[in-house]
Amino acid sequence: MNELAVIDAQWGVTPQLPALARTRSGVEFDPREDRWSYRDATTTVHLDFTKLPATTSFIASAKHAFLWYAEQMSPGHLINMFMRLAHCLRVVSADRDSPLAEITSTVLINYRATLTGPTKWYLGSLAGLLKKWHSLGYSGVTADAVALLKQLRTQGNTKGESVLTHDPVHGPFTDIELESLQYVIDRAYVADKIDREQYLLAYLFILLGQRPTQYAALKVRDVDVARAKDGTPVYTLRVPRAKQRDRLSRDEFKNRALIPQIGELLVQHAEAVRAAFQGLLPDAVDAPLFPARRRRASEPSGFKYHRTAQTLSDLLERTLKELSVMSERTGEPLHITATRFRRTMATRAAMEGHGELIIAELLDHTDTQNVSVYIEARPEIVERIDRAIAMHLAPLAQAFAGVLIRNESEATRADDPSSRICDPRFDSSKKPKPIASCGKHGSCDFAAPIACYTCVNFEPWLDGPHEAVLEYLIRERDRLAARGDMRIAAINDRTILAVAEVVRQCEEQRCEGCENG
């Protein structure tokens, strides 16, 4: 649409769009085009006005309204508003013979009637756009439509439903699921199935629970290590703030502390990225912490070689889905999304007794209006685990990673007596039998035998006292739970499921032996 102006029979003249527009972060584009496509910081914007079933004059006015959002708001908010308008137009135009010319109160009433429980919030989100559109003085939204919106009690986006219901697909991960993820990620990294970048990205989502756009905006200079008074290294990550509609993606930061194991590895990663970008950028510390494999022509100033938030989110999901970590709740591979890590981090903070202000700070929210759901969901997170539940969940959780053997002759280190794992607590006979063998060569810092059951090198014996170990762990869990500290009580839940799986496999093999006998 390159006409000087669009003539509208009812509304008059819609002003000409400028040849050049600039977003808040300085990205330039031509708003006269029917497809707006550009990269703004870590977000790719693509608005296709040709897909809107509306008249030429309506689309011309819509572009003016969206131009205001592009210049004043975040690219994510701009995209959301376009999606809400597009949905409304598709729905109300389904039975029309001609393109829509304006949004009236009748159009909104008809649209509202089509919205169901999960989509009722669409109108509440669209209302902001339509009110702003009308206030800017452009045609396309009638006064009676705005008057109706002011009278209606529009519903906002449902907050926290997946958290409150502990949804196994979209809600926070359980402790067992999260421990399984960490275990599989660690094993995959040691086995070179994932690289250091994938490993660190996964752990940053687990530990910090920030948004993909924040990780996509990270630079080498954001990784820092200082020294405490006693000389201990203190690792921090300077995370750009996001989602605040009037802020740029690297205008304001919050320092996040990192555990030494991840902090040390992140420093090594940052140094490797900095070295790789020497000569490619004026200052290599401005290189992205998680760089794209190649540079795109549409990259905005200050974000050269940066991945978009979507591509970084895709990398996380693809990495973890390939590992096929099982859920003890569904018996299927975990559904992986960046949002689930965020919900998990906030839920665990609530379970540890932190209040709304702390949780809002961890989530990088400007207020506490959307964090109360985590406090409300706190009491039901940790469920009771008894023997029956453990035996039922054990094959689903796949916490036992070793191999059951009939006797020592089948052990990896059958000729090494030091490989035997014993504990007199679980065998009251004068000469207690070993529980298992260890297939690992070298020293181990884990506390045997409890920590062994989730280890890949663990080789439990068929006639080992595994039932006694299971009874001990469940009894200890009940004792700690009675004291009211469910977080401590649940600390061995994944181990309980691993022991239960060994017990189950032992019972299976004995039954097979009886049948064959």
Q: What is the CATH number of the domain that holds 249?
A: 1.10.443.10
Q: Is residue 400 part of a domain?
A: yes
- Greatest mean pLDDT range, 11-25, 323-337, 501-515: 323-337
Q: Do 435 and 473 lie in a common domain?
A: yes
Does the structure show a pLDDT above 60 at 453?
A: yes
The answer to whether 391 and 328 are in contact (CB under 8 A) is no
| pLDDT value, residue 3 | 41
Together in a domain, 261 and 359:
yes
Q: Which helix (H) or strand (E) holds 424?
A: none
pLDDT band at residue 380 using 50, 70 and 90 as cut-offs: very low
Distance CA 227, CA 108 (A): 60
**In the predicted model, is pLDDT for residue 4 greater than 90?**
no
Distance CA 290, CA 275 (A): 14
> Are residues 328 and 174 in contact, defined by beta-carbon separation less than 8 angstroms?
yes
Q: Do 33 and 129 belong together in one domain?
A: yes
Contact 393, 387 (CB under 8 A): no
Q: pLDDT-based confidence at 233, cuts 50/70/90?
A: very high
Angle CA(504)–CA(509)–CA(514) in degrees, nearest 5? Answer: 125
The angle subtended at Cα 156 by Cα 153 and Cα 161, nearest 5°, is: 130
Q: How many domains does the chain have?
A: 3
Domain boundary (105, 130, 151) is at 151
Is residue 331 in a domain?
A: yes
Tell me which of 97, 128, 151 is where a domain ends.
151
Is the per-residue pLDDT at 155 higher than 90? no
Angle at 493 between CA 329 and CA 420, to 5 degrees: 125
Lowest mean pLDDT across 10-14, 345-349, 433-437: 10-14
Range 15-42 average pLDDT: 91
Residue 97 has pLDDT above 70, yes or no: yes
Which residues face 377 on adjacent strands? none
Q: Are strands 35-40 and 28-29 parallel, antiparallel or unpaired?
A: unpaired
Q: pLDDT band for position 188 (50/70/90)?
A: very high
156 is a domain residue: no
Asked if residue 282 and residue 267 are part of one domain, the reply reads yes
Domain final position from 131, 151, 171: 151
What pLDDT is recorded for position 357? 83
Q: What's the DSSP call for residue 434?
A: P
Pair 226, 321 in one domain: yes
CB 453 within 8 A of CB 499: yes
Q: What is the reported pLDDT for 425?
A: 86
Claim to verify: residue 366 and residue 398 sit in the same structural domain: no
pLDDT score at 221: 97
Rounded to the nearest 10 degrees, what angle do helices 105-114 and 143-151 cross at?
50
pLDDT of 46: 95
Over pLDDT 70: what percentage of the chain?
91
pLDDT confidence tier of residue 367, bands split at 50, 70 and 90: low
Q: What are the pLDDT digits (tens) for 111-133?
A: 999 998 888 889 988 999 999 99
Calculate the average pLDDT of the chain.
88
Asked if the model's pLDDT at residue 430 lies above 70, the reply is: no
Identify the pLDDT of residue 11: 43
Alpha carbon of 28 to those of 39, 47, 67: distances in Å? 10, 15, 12
In the numeric block, which tokens belong to residue 236?
Answer: 């921090």
State residue 14's pLDDT score: 64
Starting at the edge strand that comes first in sequence, how are the strands of the sheet with 253-258 ordered? 223-227, 233-240, 253-258
| 145 token code pair | 């439509």
Same domain? 18 vs 165: no
Q: Residue 377: which pLDDT band, with cuts at 50, 70 and 90?
A: low
Write down the pLDDT at residue 22: 92
For 476, the domain range is 387-516
| Residues contacting 52, CB < 8 A, separation 6+ | 58, 59, 62, 85, 86, 89
Asked, for residue 1, whether it belongs to a domain, the answer is: no
10 Å Cβ neighbour count for 166? 15
Q: What integer pLDDT is reported at residue 2 of this predicted model?
A: 40
User: Same structural domain for residues 333 and 223?
Assistant: yes
Q: For the packed helices 121-135 and 143-151, what is the interaxial angle rounded to 10 degrees?
A: 140
Q: Indicate whether 30 and 140 sit together in one domain.
A: yes
Does the pLDDT at position 346 exceed 80?
A: yes
Band of the pLDDT at 251, cuts 50, 70, 90?
Answer: confident
Q: Do residues 234 and 110 both lie within one domain?
A: no
- pLDDT for 158: 60
pLDDT in the model for residue 517: 55
**83 has pLDDT over 60:** yes
31 prior amide bond cis, ω within 30? no
Q: Is 276 part of a structural domain of the chain? A: yes
pLDDT of residue 491: 86
Q: Give 515's pLDDT tier (boundaries 50, 70, 90).
A: low
pLDDT confidence tier of residue 372, bands split at 50, 70 and 90: confident
The pLDDT value recorded for residue 209 is 92
Q: E strands of 352-449, at which residues?
A: 420-421, 436-438
Asked if 348 and 201 sit in the same domain, the reply is: yes
Six token digits for residue 277: 């970008």
**Is 304 among the domain residues?**
yes
Structure token digits, residue 94: 């389904």
To the nearest 10°, report the CA torsion of 446, 449, 451, 452. Answer: 90
- Does residue 156 surpass a pLDDT of 70? no
Give the lowest-confidence range in 102-106, 349-353, 467-471.
349-353
Asked if 432 and 464 count as a contact pair (C-beta separation under 8 A), the reply is no
Residue with tokens 């599989």: 184
462-514 residue pLDDT tens? 999 999 999 999 999 999 888 877 778 888 999 999 999 999 999 999 887 66
The whole-number average pLDDT for the span 242-257 is 74
- Between 2 and 442, the higher pLDDT residue: 442
341 has a pLDDT exceeding 80: yes
Same domain as 175, residue 111: no
Tokens (6 digits) for 299 = 């990259």
131: in domain: yes
**239 or 375: which leads in pLDDT:** 239
